[in-house]
Amino acid sequence: MVDYDDDIVRKFFLATAVWGVVGMLVGVIIALQLAWWPANLGLPWTTFGRLRPLHTNAVIFAFAGNICFTGIYHSMQRLLKTRMWSDTLSRIHFWGWQLIIVSAAITYPLGITQSREYAELIWPIDIAVTLIWVVFAINFFGTLAIRKVKHIYVAIWFYMSFVITIAVLHIVNNLAVPATFLRSYPIYSGMTDALVQWWYGHNAVGFFLTTPFLGLMYYYLPKAADRPIYSYRLSIIHFWGLIFLYIWAGPHHLLYSGLPDWAQTLGMVFSIMLLAPSWGGMLNGLLTLKGAWYKLRTDPILKFMVVGVTFYGMSTFEGPMMSIRSVNGLAHFTNWVVGHVHSGALGWNGMLTFAVLYWLLPRLWNREVAYPKMVTQHFWLATIGIVIYTVSMWAAGLMEGLQWRAVNDAGQLANPIFIDIVHRLEPFYWLRLLGGTLYFVGAVMMLFNVFKTIRGPERVSTDAPAAVPAT
Amino acid sequence: MADNGNDHGSEAQYGQFHRRVFESNAALFAVAATVAILIGGIVEIVPMFTPAGPEHSEAITPYTPLEVAGRDIYVSEGCYLCHSQWVRPMRAEILRYGPWSRAWEYQYDRPFQLGSRRIGPDLHRLGNKYPDAWHYEHMRDPRSTTPGSVMPPYPWLLNDRIDPDDVRASVVALRKTGTPYTDADVAGVEESLARQGGAIVDRLATAGIETTPDRAIVALIAYLQRLGVEGRAELEARGVEY
């Protein structure tokens, strides 16, 4: 029996649950600010412009990042039947990553930012990210090197693409000349800077919010459903298709801009092609449940997984569609994009994260979940919240997109006063706040359930699943 | 618990090659994955540094020190999260904002601030649209100039001061990135700040507003008032219809 390091998994687990609540709380606050501007509080540190990066960074790098690390440290040891290569590096990775998150939470409200979307961290913190990532990569490949199982399972292919690609994206995108300790200027300018940034930005979606999560799906979905992966061949095809195509898609963020047309067209074409490998992953996940669908009635973990994978399918259909130039012409700059992003973030990343956390909770602490019914309640709150959120943002986005472009018979703007359109969005902003709040409340319930479970009595029965399930 | 993770069932036959070559060799797998993820980026990014990349224009001048300071404030406050600087080549956008944005207009923008969301209107043709005093009042209380505005007020910009040494550090760093500042530009940062800031202070005074040239608001106004101005003038000089 291998002595797995589950202490590090528990650390990342708790960080995920705590940062998730923090990131979503900031999301609720800035959603309120859009519906009711006095919620900016009249203070420099709490304006929408300073808090939005805190929200996006917290949910992407703290919530989603920590669940990726949770799942990787847990599943990788079992898939390779070895302890992580270095316990010390695991801990440097953990504490370093949390320190980076704390430094983001301090700098953004102070207005210390690069203002490059999803790469707002200033250069000293960027260097820290690079160092911590190298620590993680050494530990990751070190563990592969000492593995006791020759074969490398598909989940680890996806983890590997995460480790490699994020390093490349982060370093290339953040090359800059420092002016002071807090400020730097990118080596790229204008449209080139925009292209590099969106090459990074879109592939943060691709390789931070997609490939590691597919890795989690490939490990935890078969575990939870007690079924083998539907198709091995499909996993090969969609893995290589996905990582090869994704990296080209960035320019769809710059359609109708000054970016050379050839680059815009490449971005659009590859984004549309990306539908195929994305759906390959979704289908491989859903079809794994073949013969196990009845379990959905009783198992909230599978409910979370199925809704998560389904939202992955929906947002990876919507994304390519929005990358079509003419559709993008309407959707770009609107709340539709916000709705799209959240169907991916809340639907795919969030739901899969909750599923993995609930699956791990009794196993990592060898305790029964304190409030099993609350897991199902969380599921319904989250699902209803996402639906309200995305539908209100679709409606708001279509409305503002159409009203911005409407021209009357005389050839003049039908809605010449911008602020009039802003006011028509207000009901949708309140609805979105409601949807987001439901989702947030669900996450708080999970955090409560986690702490109650951890403080509960340890399992004594020997026929219950062991704390460390055999793999 | 059953071992599902590694069970590929009867389908293993389809992936014999992949299984034999890649799935047992971590190093080879890592190299192959690295190649796969590098190709797209190289094909799209490298040509940006060749004539196939964005066009350059002599008509656009680097930001003055005061404009650099103002742009730093714009970046620091995260203005791009609500305002784009990107007029698209579409009829309604040209009617609403002015000529659509050309690549060369951004050539000295570090970082780029095109934005991705229009919670408020686009700002790329904002320069010269309103008097300096409008911007001053708008930042103090957005609802005083735009009734019903949902923008938060930024009264601290009226009091915060910019530090000439800090601005010089920015100009020096920008010069290292390739912005064509001369030695005289670097040496004259303080004088340039005072001159351009003084002119704005004088214009504000005619509207009954008293301030000093080293205030953050003055720098921000300098930046906002040049947005899209040189580009529009160049397009008019070229006789481009829009």
Q: Smallest Cβ distance to B107: which of A34, A153, A190?
A: A190
Q: How confident is the model at residue B2 (pLDDT cuts 50, 70, 90)?
A: very low
In a mutagenesis test of the B interface, which of A74, A174, A189, A326 is the best target, namely the one with the most B β-carbons within 10 Å? A189
Question: So what's the pLDDT on residue A460?
Answer: 82
Please give, rounded to a whole number of angstroms, the shortest distance from the CA of A468 to a CA of chain B: 10
Q: How confident is the model at residue A470 (pLDDT cuts 50, 70, 90)?
A: very low
Which domains are present in chain A? 7-363 (1.20.210.10)
Question: So what's the pLDDT on residue B7?
Answer: 47
CA dist A244 and A232 (Å) reads 19
In a mutagenesis test of the A interface, which of B37, B141, B156, B186 is the best target, namely the one with the most A β-carbons within 10 Å? B37
CB contact under 8 A, B33 and A151: no
Q: Smallest Cβ distance to A37: which of B88, B151, B178?
A: B151
Q: How many CA atoms lie within 13 A of A30 on its CB side?
A: 22
The CATH number of B65-237, from 1.10.760.10, 3.40.50.300, 1.10.10.10, 3.50.50.60, is 1.10.760.10
Q: What percent of chain A has pLDDT over 90?
A: 96
Domain boundaries, chain B: 9-49, 65-237
Read off the pLDDT of residues A355-397 as tens digits, 9 standing for 90 and up: 999 999 999 999 999 999 999 999 999 999 999 999 999 999 9
B38 contacts on A by Cβ (under 8 Å): 168, 247
Read off the pLDDT of residues A185-221 as tens digits, 9 standing for 90 and up: 999 999 999 999 999 999 999 999 999 999 999 999 9
In a mutagenesis test of the A interface, which of B16, B38, B76 is the best target, namely the one with the most A β-carbons within 10 Å? B76
Taking a C-beta distance cutoff of 8 angstroms, is the pair B120, B148 a contact? no
CA nearest B8 in A: which residue? A232
Report the predicted TM-score, pTM, of the whole model to 2 decimal places: 0.95
CB contact under 8 A, B178 and A189: yes
Please give, rounded to a whole number of angstroms, the shortest distance from the CA of A377 to a CA of chain B: 27
Q: Smallest Cβ distance to A199: which of B44, B81, B91?
A: B44
In a mutagenesis test of the A interface, which of B56, B150, B156, B163 is the best target, namely the one with the most A β-carbons within 10 Å? B150
Token digits for B44? Answer: 């799209």
Query: Does the pLDDT value for residue A467 go beyond 70?
Result: no
Read off the pLDDT of residues A36-82 as tens digits, 9 standing for 90 and up: 999 999 999 999 999 999 999 999 999 999 999 999 999 999 999 99
Q: Smallest Cβ distance to B26: which of A152, A186, A227?
A: A152
Please give, rounded to a whole number of angstroms, the shortest distance from the CA of A381 to a CA of chain B: 28
CB contact under 8 A, A229 and B8: yes
Please give, rounded to a whole number of angstroms, the shortest distance from the CA of A200 to a CA of chain B: 9
CB contact under 8 A, B6 and A329: no
Question: So what's the pLDDT on residue B233?
Answer: 97
CA nearest B173 in A: which residue? A179
CB contact under 8 A, B114 and A266: no
CB contact under 8 A, A248 and B43: yes
Token digits for A450? Answer: 């986690």
B72 contacts on A by Cβ (under 8 Å): 183
Tell me the count of A-B CB pairs closer than 8 A. 309
Please give, rounded to a whole number of angstroms, the shortest distance from the CA of A445 to a CA of chain B: 29
- How crowded is residue A127: how many other Cβ atoms within 10 Å of its Cβ? 13
ipTM of the complex: 0.95
CB contact under 8 A, A189 and B26: no
DSSP H/E element including B85: none
